[in-house]
Every structure is written in structure tokens, then in C-alpha cells.
Amino acid sequence: MYERRHLTRYAWLSIATAVLTIGLKAAAYFLTGSVGLLSDALESGVNLAAAILALVTLTVAAQPPDEEHAYGHDKAEYFSGGAEGTLILFAAVTIAVSAIQRLFNPQPLEQVGLGLAISVVAALCNLVVARILLQAGRQYNSVTLTADAHHLLADVWTSVGVVLGVGVVALTGWTILDPLIAVAVAGQIVYWGFQLVRQAVQGLMDTALPATEMEKVVAVLERYRARGVTYHALRSRQSGARRFVSVHIQVPGAWSVQRGHGVLEEIERELRQALSPISVFTHLEPIEDPTSWRDISLLRQDE
């Protein structure tokens, strides 16, 4: 699990890309004077802050369990996602304010061709890095890398919209389109910001595993019914890259402890093969004992 320390190299890649694209987009803004391109540059500034935060978060999340954090530090990744979403919302407000000011004071654009060319290069850099981060995020089940990748992809689409819009302004001379484009960019950034904050809150609230993953868990458990084994009190949660599943396994009371323990080991092994990484907690009960059904709820109420 702790080979995840090497994931920080992806954060360093994101940081380097953010620094490069900030320089490129800032140059495009100063060349053209476009508030649309300014909004694009400001979003890249958020990318840099988010990438630095991702580096710190991945470093913390890779730490092994200790006495104060027996279940590991994976949940730190959700703080990164929430903070990144907040930064995005702040950038959206800044962009909107600049755009509204420009609505009342429209200005002609200059050197549009060169400025747009630079912006296109910056967008291509973000696209390449976003694809790398997305692949790594899926491979290592990293909330931080996946969030950073989606943020960069959103930045790419934002850049595409800005480039097309500024191009239209240059062709038509309708300078009012420039701040309107910036307002639209701000709206798009707000959407992605709320999505990241929402994902972080769900993770911190111990949201259950996705339905597709729970189907795999249930499929493993159901295969044991033919052997007289049933189950209840199935619960799950996700903490960063780590999955947690707990379940009570009921076996015939006449079985020996060794036989029941052997079944638990089989079930846990199959669940680890079906979903990895995963921590499985099982509890053995005799199927004939009515008291074994009293702990179906999270908090058992003894009669």
C-alpha cells in the first residue's frame, strides 16, 4: 500500500505544468488585453495552488498507520479535494468581478493571433498532463490525482471556449463578447468547484462503496449460501484509496470453530481478490442463535 509514496511525482508534474501554463497564459493576456484570457490565466493559478496541495496531501496519505491513525492516513486526500474546490470557487469570483468591470468598460484587443497561439500551446500542455494524471488516478485509485486531472480537463475546455470566443471578437469586433466569455468561464469553474467540494464532503462522511463494487461483494457472499452459510449487517465505506467492508457471517452451530474460521478466511480472500485494496472485517455467528440477529443495526440494542 505504501508504495503510493511514488505518486508524489505526478503532483510534481502537475506543479511544473501549472507554472508553465501560468507563464504562457499571462503572456497571452498581456499581449491581447483580453479579460477572457485573463480568466484562463487565473484558473491556472488555482491549478498551481491545487497541485502544491496535492503534493502535500499525497505525502501525508502515503504514511503508514500509526497509534493515532490505526486505519491509515488515506482520508487526507478528501481534504485536498475540498480545498481545491474552495480555491476554484474563489477564482470564479475573481474572474466574474474582472469580467463585470470590463462589461462597463469594453476595450479593443491587440495581437490576438499571437496571444491565441500561446493559449493553445498552454491548453495542449494541460491536456497531456491531465490524461497522465487521470490514468494514474484510476490505476492507483487516488482521489487527489483524479480530482486534479478533472480540474485540468475542465481548464482545457475553458481554454478552448476562451480561444474560440476571443477569435470571434477579433473577427467581428464585438468587444462585449470578451467579458461575456469570462462570465461563462466563471460559471463553469463554479460548477467544477462545487463538484469537488461535494466529493470531498461525501468522502469525509464515510460514503458507502459504489453500487458496482457492492455488487461484487454480494456476489462473493451469495456463493456460500449453497454451503449453508448466510450473512447480514453488511456495511462498507471508502477512505481515499482504501475500501472497508464489514459483515457478519452465519454458519451452522454444529460446525467447529476451525471450520467456521476457515470459511471466513476464504470469504475474506475472495473479497480481496475482487476489490483491492480492501480491508475486510468478518464476525462469525451460529445461524440458529436468535441473538445473532440483534446486531443488524449499526448500534446493537440488547433486550
pLDDT in tens, 140-177: 777 778 777 877 887 787 777 777 777 777 777 777 77
| pLDDT value of residue 215 | 94
Pairwise pLDDT comparison (67 vs 279), residue with the higher score: 279
Integer angstrom CA distances of residue 254 from 30, 98, 106, 166, 192: 81, 75, 84, 78, 56
Q: How confident is the model at residue 41 (pLDDT cuts 50, 70, 90)?
A: confident
- The kind and range of the H/E element at 233 are strand 230-239
Give the pLDDT confidence of 194-216 residue by residue, as tens digits. Answer: 777 777 777 666 778 889 999 99
| pLDDT value of residue 1 | 44
Give the pLDDT confidence of 242-296 residue by residue, as tens digits. Answer: 788 999 999 999 999 999 999 999 999 999 999 887 889 999 999 988 877 776 6
> pLDDT exceeding 70 applies to what percent of the chain?
81
Q: How confident is the model at residue 99 (pLDDT cuts 50, 70, 90)?
A: low
Amino acid symbol at 297: S
Read out DSSP for 237-278?
Answer: EEETTEEEEEEEEEE-TTS-HHHHHHHHHHHHHHHHHHSSSE
pLDDT higher than threshold 80 for residue 33: no
Task: For residue 254, count other CB atoms closer than 10 A to its CB.
Answer: 8
**Contact (Cβ atoms closer than 8 angstroms) between residue 119 and residue 163:** yes
| pLDDT value of residue 260 | 93
pLDDT higher than threshold 60 for residue 303: no
Stretch 129-141: mean pLDDT, rounded? 86
Per the confidence metrics, is the pTM higher than 0.75?
no
Question: What domains can be seen in the chain, in order of their start residue?
Answer: 2-204 (1.20.1510.10), 211-293 (3.30.70.1350)
Stretch 32-57: mean pLDDT, rounded? 75
Stretch 115-143: mean pLDDT, rounded? 85
Average pLDDT value over all residues in the chain: 79
**Contact (Cβ atoms closer than 8 angstroms) between residue 147 and residue 80:** yes
- Among 36-45, 87-96, 102-111, the least confident range: 102-111
| pLDDT value of residue 171 | 76
* Helices 76-103 and 35-61, axial angle in degrees (round to 10): 170
**Contact (Cβ atoms closer than 8 angstroms) between residue 264 and residue 276:** no
The answer, yes or no, to whether the previous bond of 277 is cis (omega within 30 of 0) is yes
Integer angstrom CA distances of residue 293 from 120, 248, 250: 63, 10, 10
- Among 26-30, 149-153, 226-230, 293-297, the least confident range: 293-297
Question: What does residue 183 show for φ and ψ, rounded to 5 degrees?
Answer: -65, -40
Stretch 40-59: mean pLDDT, rounded? 77
Q: In what order do the strands lie in the sheet with 278-286?
A: 230-239, 242-251, 278-286
* DSSP state, residue 174: -
| pLDDT value of residue 67 | 77
- The kind and range of the H/E element at 47 are helix 35-61
Stretch 177-184: mean pLDDT, rounded? 73
| pLDDT value of residue 282 | 94
| pLDDT value of residue 45 | 76
Taking alpha carbons only, the member of 193, 161, 152, 156 closest to residue 180 is 161
